Amino acid sequence: MDTNSEKILSISNLTMRYGATNVLTGVDLDVYKGQIIGYIGPNGAGKSTTVKIMLGLVDGYHGNVEIFGQDISNGDNSYKQRIGYVPENAEVYDNLTASEYLTFTGQLYGMDESEAEYKAIRLVEKFGLGDVYHTRISAYSKGMRQKVLIIASLLHDPDLIFLDEPLSGLDANSVMIIKEILAQLAAEGKTIFYSSHIMDVVEKISNRIVLLADGKIIADGSFEELKQKNKEGTLEEIFNELTGFDQHKQIAEEVVSIVKEVGNNA
Ligand SMILES: Nc1ncnc2c1ncn2[C@@H]1O[C@H](COP(=O)(O)OP(=O)(O)OP(=O)(O)O)[C@@H](O)[C@H]1O
C-alpha cells in the first residue's frame, strides 16, 4: 500500500448502534488517493451504514471520520461538494426527465445550470440514453435509471466516489464501460469506494479489498495478498472462508426439500 500518497479518508474506532443492535463495533480504515477500495461483507454487516455515515446521512455514530483531512462532524459540509455517490436503493425523482434531474443534481453540487446541462447531455449520449434525455425517468428501465444515477454521481467531477452496488440492472456492455471508467478515474487520482456483492467484479477492479464482518474489518489487502493469506482461490471462496461459511450445499438441500413438500399436506 502506498502510504506516501495523500490520505483521503480516515476512519478510527467507528461504532454505530441501532437500538440494541451493534452494527459497527470499531472500524479503522485509512484510504489513500487513487485507491479503488472494494468494500465487501455479508448482508447486514454494516457496509451501507459505513458509507452513509461518511456521507453525513446518518448521525449517532461514535469515533472519528475525516474526509480530505476534515472531521465530518465539525459542521462544515463543504467536503460533500467533492464527493459523488451512487446509492444502493435510489429514490430518483420519477417525474423529472434525465435532463431536469441531472441539471438539478449538478446545481446541488455547485455547478451552474448551463455547465451541468452541457456535460449531462454529452454523458447521457455516451451511455446510449440520448434519445430519452427529455423523457420522464418514470418511463425508464432499471438499467437506464442506474445509468442516470451513475452520471449524476460523476457530473461534478468528484475526487471521492462512493458506489453502493452500482452495477445492478446494467447489461454486460455497460458493466464493461463502468469498470473501465472507474479504473481510468482512479488512474487520474480519484479515489473510489466500491461496495458490492458481485465478487468477480470486486476482485477485478479493486486494488484493495476490505472485508467487514461482525462490525469490524476482518481482512484488508490486495486480492493477491488475501489469496496468499487464505487457502482459497477466488474472492468468492475467500469471502466464504473468512466469514466461516461452508453450509451452502446443506442449506440448498434443506430448501429444495421444503419446496418439494408442496401438496404433501393436501
Ligand atoms: N435506519 C435503520 N434503522 C434500524 N436499523 C438499521 C437501519 N439501517 C440499517 N440498520 C441495520 O443495520 C445493519 C446493517 O445494515 P446495512 O444496510 O449497513 O448493511 P449492509 O452491509 O449494507 O447490508 P447489505 O449487504 O444487505 O446491503 C442491519 O442489521 C440493518 O437492519
Report CA(173)–ligand 1 centroid distance (Å): 31
pLDDT in tens, 52-101: 999 999 999 999 999 999 999 998 988 999 999 998 877 778 899 999 99
For atom 27 of ligand 1, the residue with the nearest CA is 43
Report CA(24)–ligand 1 centroid distance (Å): 10
- Of 240, 218, 251, 223, nearest to 46 by C-alpha is 218
pLDDT at 66: 97
Residue 264's pLDDT band, with cuts at 50, 70 and 90, is low
Residue with cell 434531474: 101
Ligand 1 pocket, residue 245 CB under 6 Å: no
Report whether 162 contacts 54 (CB < 8 A): yes
Ligand 1 pocket, residue 44 CB under 6 Å: yes
> What interface predicted TM-score (ipTM) does this complex get?
0.97
Residue 92 C-beta-side C-alpha neighbours within 13 Å = 29
Residue 4's pLDDT band, with cuts at 50, 70 and 90, is low
Q: Where are the beta strands (DSSP E) in the chain?
A: 7-18, 21-32, 36-40, 62-67, 70-71, 83-86, 160-164, 191-195, 208-213, 216-221
Report helix, strand or coil for 246: coil
- How far lies 206's CA from each of 43, 184, 222, in Å? 20, 12, 8
- Of 113, 187, 96, nearest to 149 by C-alpha is 96
Ligand 1 pocket, residue 45 CB under 6 Å: yes
The pTM of the full predicted model, rounded to 2 decimals, is 0.92
Report CA(79)–ligand 1 centroid distance (Å): 25
